């Protein structure tokens, strides 16, 4: 068992102890990955094929998967016991049958079924009732554990956050203001420059996209080709907003950075970017261990308003990142979660200036008396400036 697995196993064991569980049944794919280090890249899209993990104290995790995924599971983690079902019968029924055969003697069964489809949750509850067991809700406990990162998780998240920033810079380095580029070309090159830095090959949510010029008035421009963008071309002086989400060792980065197709900003860009920098500073100042997310949000909104920064009403100003690219807690009006040491937040900087939306995402680690930005390959006090010409 490697260090990461040991750390997570300890966290899961704590949940099992605290809740006095005989077994913890995990159904959410991100939770499964967290608890077992097993990731099937298409499992969120191919939902007719279900997987479950069963966790008992001092035992190897037990994973139930369709036979077609059996070997990749075994390759991903040698310390799990794999039980695979064939497609002879209905996949969900087959999976559930194995799950409950493996916990037939359990009396207290923890579940994360708040996070999964109603239909599966109903089946799990029915099976537990038939066993004569007690259903114990554990979704919040797992999400809470996920939000406080371990030493190895921090190491992985720092690595991928910095690599992604490096990749964005690596691509920006090719920008020459008088050589126009399409948003599609920018999107492609962001991904290529990430892959060149040894990130994992990912489909689906490995989002990388460039939004340019006046298209930045839409956060998700170019619908439905969000990640491929379009055939619009940069003009000299344009703003480029690059989003990149990358995965390495099962952990995600989620970054946004701005480049200017010029060696200097226009007056409008200057003001908008200054607002982004100020907003980052405000967020880093108000983000403190022991405060509630909603307090941080309110404080930041008030300070931004005082500084004349137009932010979007109701837009959450941050979220966690880990085995998924976006997860709670959220820096929002409603989230009462108390900030703790070793949480890693994506600060979702978004300001409006003259109908355009300028965005920048920093990744920060919360320490007792400090907020550390961990994706600053370069200083983002200024955007990336393209050379005017060569």
Partner 1 sequence: MSRMNDISLSVAEKQNLGEKIENKMKSNGFDALLVFGSSNITYLSCGIVFPYLDQKVVQPVALYICYKTGKRIIVCTNDLADIPKQLNWNGEVVIYNLNQQTPELSIAEVLKNYITGKVAIDENYMTTAQIKALKKSINGLVTIGGDQVFDDLKLLKTDAEIRLLEIACRMGDRGFVSALNHSEGAALDALSYPLWEYAERFRVHVGEYGGSCVGNMVVVQGEDCKELYARCEPSAVLNKPGFVRLEYSLHNSGYWVTGSRTVYLGQSNQHAEKVWENNQTLKNIALENLRPGIKSSEVYNAVRQSSEDLNIPFWGDIDLGHGVGTKERERPFLAPYDDTLIAEGMVIVLGVYTYGNDNELICNKDVYLVTNGEPRLLNWYKSWNDLYVLHGTSARHG
Find the binding residues for partner 1 in span 54-73 (CB under 8 A).
66-72
Closest approach, Cβ 118 to partner 1, in A, equals 4
**Closest approach of Cβ 148 to partner 1, in Å?**
18
Which part of the chain contacts partner 1 (CB under 8 A), choosing from 7-15, 167-175, 271-279, 321-329?
Answer: 321-329
Q: Between residue 325 and residue 364, which ones bind partner 1 under the rule CB under 8 A? A: 325-328, 330, 332-336, 350
* Nearer of residues 92 and 289 to partner 1, judged by Cβ: 92
Q: Which stretch binds partner 1 (CB under 8 A): 44-52, 159-167, 234-242, 364-372?
A: 44-52
Of these, 10, 20, 59, 87, which contacts partner 1 (CB under 8 A)?
Answer: 87
Contact status: 320 vs partner 1 (CB under 8 A):
no
Quick check: 309 and 340 in contact, CB under 8 A?
no
| Pattern 109-128, partner 1, x by CB under 8 A | ----xxxxxxx-xx------
Taking CB under 8 A as the binding criterion, the range among 6-14, 79-87, 161-169, 271-279 that sits at the site for partner 1 is: 79-87
Nearest approach, Cβ of residue 20 and partner 1 (Å): 22
**Distance from the first to the final alpha carbon of the chain:** 52
Q: Which is nearer to partner 1, 270 or 310 (CB)?
A: 310
Exactly one of 200, 270, 299, 382 binds partner 1 (CB under 8 A); which one? Answer: 200
Q: Is 232 in the site for partner 1 (CB under 8 A)?
A: no
CB 320 within 8 A of CB 343: yes
Size of the site for partner 1 (CB under 8 A): 82
Q: State the chain's maximal CA–CA distance in angstroms.
A: 75
Binds partner 1 (CB under 8 A): choice among 58, 78, 267, 314: 314
Interface with partner 1, residue 202, by CB under 8 A: yes
Site for partner 1 contains 203 (CB under 8 A): yes
Residues 23-42 interacting with partner 1 (rule: CB under 8 A): 30, 40-42
| By the rule CB under 8 A, 75 interacts with partner 1 | yes
DSSP letter string, 192-254: HHHHTTTPPP--TT--EEEEEGGGGGSTT-STT-TTT--S-B--TT-EEEEEE--EETTEE--
Contacts 24+ apart (CB under 8 A), 11-16: 11/145, 11/150, 12/55, 12/145, 13/57, 13/58, 14/145, 15/110, 15/138, 15/141, 15/142, 15/145, 16/55, 16/56, 16/57, 16/110
Residue 300: count other Cβ atoms within 10 Å of its Cβ: 23
Token code pair at residue 369: 């008396």
Residues numbered 155 to 194 that lie near partner 1 (CB under 8 A) are: 184, 187-188, 191-192
289 binds partner 1 (CB under 8 A): no
Q: Choose among 252, 260, 265: nearest CA to 172.
A: 260
| Residue number with CB closer to partner 1 (79 or 218) | 218
| Among candidate residues 79, 70, 78, 60, the one with its CA nearest the CA of residue 12 | 60
Instruction: Please report, to the nearest 10 degrees, the dihedral formed by the alpha carbons of residues 312, 314, 320, 323 taken in order.
Output: -100
Contact window for partner 1 (CB under 8 A) among 148-156, 218-226, 275-283, 338-346 = 218-226
378 is written with which tokens? 């370069």
Distances (CA, A) of 184 to 191, 225, 240, 370: 11, 10, 12, 39
Please tell me whether residue 237 binds partner 1 under the rule CB under 8 A. Answer: no
Stretch that binds partner 1, among 85-93, 98-106, 301-309, 361-369 (CB under 8 A): 85-93
CA distance 96 to 168: 44
């Amino acid at each position: 068992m490697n260090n990461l697995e040991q750390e997570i196993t300890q966290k899961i064991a704590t949940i099992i102890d605290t809740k006095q569980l005989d077994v913890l049944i995990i159904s959410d794919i991100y939770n499964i990955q967290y608890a077992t280090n097993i990731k099937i890249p298409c499992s969120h899209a191919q939902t007719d094929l279900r997987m479950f993990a069963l966790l008992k104290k001092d035992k190897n995790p037990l994973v139930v998967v369709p036979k077609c995924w059996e070997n990749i599971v075994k390759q991903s983690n040698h310390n799990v016991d794999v039980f695979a079902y064939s497609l002879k019968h209905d996949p969900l029924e087959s999976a559930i049958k194995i799950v409950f055969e493996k916990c037939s003697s359990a009396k207290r069964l923890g579940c994360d079924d708040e996070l999964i489809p109603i239909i599966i949750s109903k089946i799990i509850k029915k099976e537990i009732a038939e066993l004569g067991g007690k259903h114990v809700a554990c979704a919040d406990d797992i999400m809470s554990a996920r939000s406080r990162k371990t030493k190895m998780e921090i190491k992985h998240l720092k690595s991928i956050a910095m690599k992604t920033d490096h990749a964005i810079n690596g691509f920006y380095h090719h920008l020459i203001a008088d050589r126009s580029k399409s948003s599609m070309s920018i999107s492609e090159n962001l991904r290529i420059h990430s892959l060149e830095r040894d990130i994992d090959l990912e489909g689906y949510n490995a989002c990388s996209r460039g939004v340019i010029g006046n298209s930045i008035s839409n956060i998700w421009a170019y619908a439905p080709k969000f990640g491929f963008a379009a055939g619009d071309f940069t003009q000299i002086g344009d703003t480029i907003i690059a989003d990149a989400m990358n995965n390495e060792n099962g952990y995600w980065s989620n970054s946004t950075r701005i480049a200017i197709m010029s060696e200097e900003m226009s007056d409008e860009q200057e003001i908008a970017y200054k607002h982004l920098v100020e907003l980052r500073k405000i967020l880093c100042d108000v983000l403190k261990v022991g405060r509630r997310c909603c307090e941080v949000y309110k404080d930041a909104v008030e300070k931004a308003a005082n500084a004349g920064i137009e932010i979007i009403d109701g837009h959450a100003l941050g979220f966690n990142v880990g085995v998924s690219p976006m997860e709670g807690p959220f820096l929002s009006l409603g989230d009462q979660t108390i900030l703790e040491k070793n949480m890693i937040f994506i600060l979702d900087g978004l300001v409006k200036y003259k109908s355009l939306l300028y965005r920048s995402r920093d990744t920060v680690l919360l320490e007792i008396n400090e907020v550390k930005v961990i994706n600053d390959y370069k200083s983002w006090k200024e955007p990336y400036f393209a050379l005017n010409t060569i």
